[in-house]
C-alpha cells in the first residue's frame, strides 16, 4: 500500500497520480506499464514516485484495492436498494447485473482486469488477498436470505459464502474469451450467469 507521504499529498495531486496510473495500466499489461510514463503524466518526479510507493507493484495493488472497494460500494448500494424488493435469488441476479453495469461505466478498470486475467501468477497473488472480502460480502447476502426464511437454516453460511466466492471466480474464467471481456457483449453473458444461478438454487439432484 502507499506510504504515508502519498496520503499526505493534496487530494488533487493524489487524484492525478491515480488517474495517470489508471491510464497506463489500462493501456498496457502490468509488466509493460512504465513508472516513468505514470510519473510524467501525473507531473511528479521519479524520485517522488518512490517516496509515495515502494515500487510499481505497490501502486498496482493499490489501484486494484481502489477498484474492489469502489465496486463493492456500487454493488452494496444496489443490494440495499433492492433487498426489500426482491427475493434472495433474484437479488443475487441483480447483483451480477450491477457488476455488469459497473464494468460498462468503468472501462479503464475493465481493461486493467482484462490484462490481469492474462497473467495467472499475478492474478492469483492479487485476487487471493480479496477472497475474504468477497466471502464476507456473500455471507452478508446469505444472512438476508436466512432472515427472510428463503434459505435452509441448517446451512453453514460461512462455508456457502466461500463456495459462492469460488463460483464467481470460476464464472469470470468461463466468460473470459480471447484475452478479454467484451464490454459490448456483457449483457449476453447473463445467459451463463443464469445457468450458474440455476445451479445455486436447484443443485444437481434430479427432481420428480
Mean pLDDT over 109-129 rounds to: 80
Per-domain residue ranges for the chain?
A: 1-54, 61-202
- Report which of residues 205 and 175 the model is more confident about: 205
| Residue 181 confidence (pLDDT) above 50 | yes
pTM of the model: 0.81
What would the pLDDT profile of 158-174 be if each residue is shown by its tens digit?
Answer: 999 999 988 887 776 66
Q: In 3D, which of 132, 152, 133 has the Cα closest to residue 142?
A: 152
- Mean pLDDT across the chain: 86
Quickly name the fold that domain 61-202 has: Tetracycline Repressor; domain 2 (1.10.357)
Taking the C-alpha atoms of residue 23 and residue 28, their distance in angstroms, rounded to an integer, is 9
Mean pLDDT over 105-123 rounds to: 82
Domain covering 1-54: architecture: Orthogonal Bundle (1.10)
- Position 186 scores a pLDDT of 62
- Report which of residues 69 and 81 the model is more confident about: 69
Q: Which residues have C-beta within 8 Å of that of residue 53, sequence separation ≥ 6?
A: 2, 3, 6, 59, 62
Taking the C-alpha atoms of residue 165 and residue 41, their distance in angstroms, rounded to an integer, is 37
Mean pLDDT over 185-195 rounds to: 76
What would the pLDDT profile of 130-159 be if each residue is shown by its tens digit?
Answer: 888 889 989 988 998 998 899 999 999 999
Q: In 3D, which of 184, 138, 132 has the Cα closest to residue 164?
A: 138
| Radius of gyration for the chain, computed over Cα atoms and rounded to the nearest angstrom | 19
pLDDT band at 178 (very low <50, low <70, confident <90, very high): very low
- Report which of residues 175 and 105 the model is more confident about: 105
Most confident range (mean pLDDT) of 66-70, 101-105, 154-158 is 154-158
Same topology between domain 1-54 and domain 61-202: no
What would the pLDDT profile of 12-56 be if each residue is shown by its tens digit?
Answer: 999 999 999 999 999 998 999 999 999 999 999 999 999 999 999
**Lowest mean pLDDT: which of 74-78, 176-180, 190-194?**
176-180
- DSSP annotation string for 106-120: -HHHHHHHHHHHT-H
Mean pLDDT over 84-103 rounds to: 85
Amino acid at each position: 500500500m502507499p506510504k504515508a507521504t502519498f496520503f499526505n499529498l493534496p487530494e488533487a495531486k493524489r487524484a492525478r497520480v491515480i488517474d495517470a496510473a489508471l491510464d497506463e495500466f489500462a493501456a498496457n499489461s502490468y509488466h509493460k506499464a512504465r513508472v516513468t510514463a505514470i510519473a510524467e503524466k501525473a507531473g511528479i518526479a521519479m524520485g517522488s514516485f518512490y517516496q509515495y510507493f515502494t515500487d510499481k507493484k505497490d501502486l498496482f495493488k493499490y489501484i486494484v484495492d481502489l477498484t474492489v472497494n469502489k465496486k463493492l460500494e456500487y454493488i452494496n448500494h444496489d443490494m440495499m436498494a433492492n433487498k426489500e424488493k426482491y427475493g434472495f435469488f433474484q437479488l443475487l441476479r441483480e447483483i451480477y447485473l450491477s457488476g455488469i453495469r459497473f464494468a460498462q461505466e468503468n472501462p479503464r478498470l475493465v481493461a486493467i482486469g482484462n490484462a490481469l486475467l492474462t497473467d495467472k501468477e499475478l492474478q492469483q497473488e492479487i485476487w487471493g488477498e480479496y477472497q475474504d472480502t468477497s466471502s464476507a460480502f456473500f455471507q452478508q447476502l446469505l444472512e438476508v436470505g436466512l432472515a427472510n426464511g428463503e434459505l435452509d437454516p441448517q446451512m453453514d453460511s460461512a462455508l456457502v459464502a466461500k463456495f459462492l466466492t469460488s463460483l464467481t471466480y470460476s464464472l469470470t474464467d468461463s466468460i473470459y474469451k480471447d484475452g478479454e471481456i467484451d464490454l459490448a457483449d456483457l449483457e449476453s453473458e447473463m445467459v451463463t450467469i443464469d445457468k450458474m444461478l440455476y445451479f445455486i438454487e436447484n443443485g444437481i439432484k434430479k427432481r420428480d
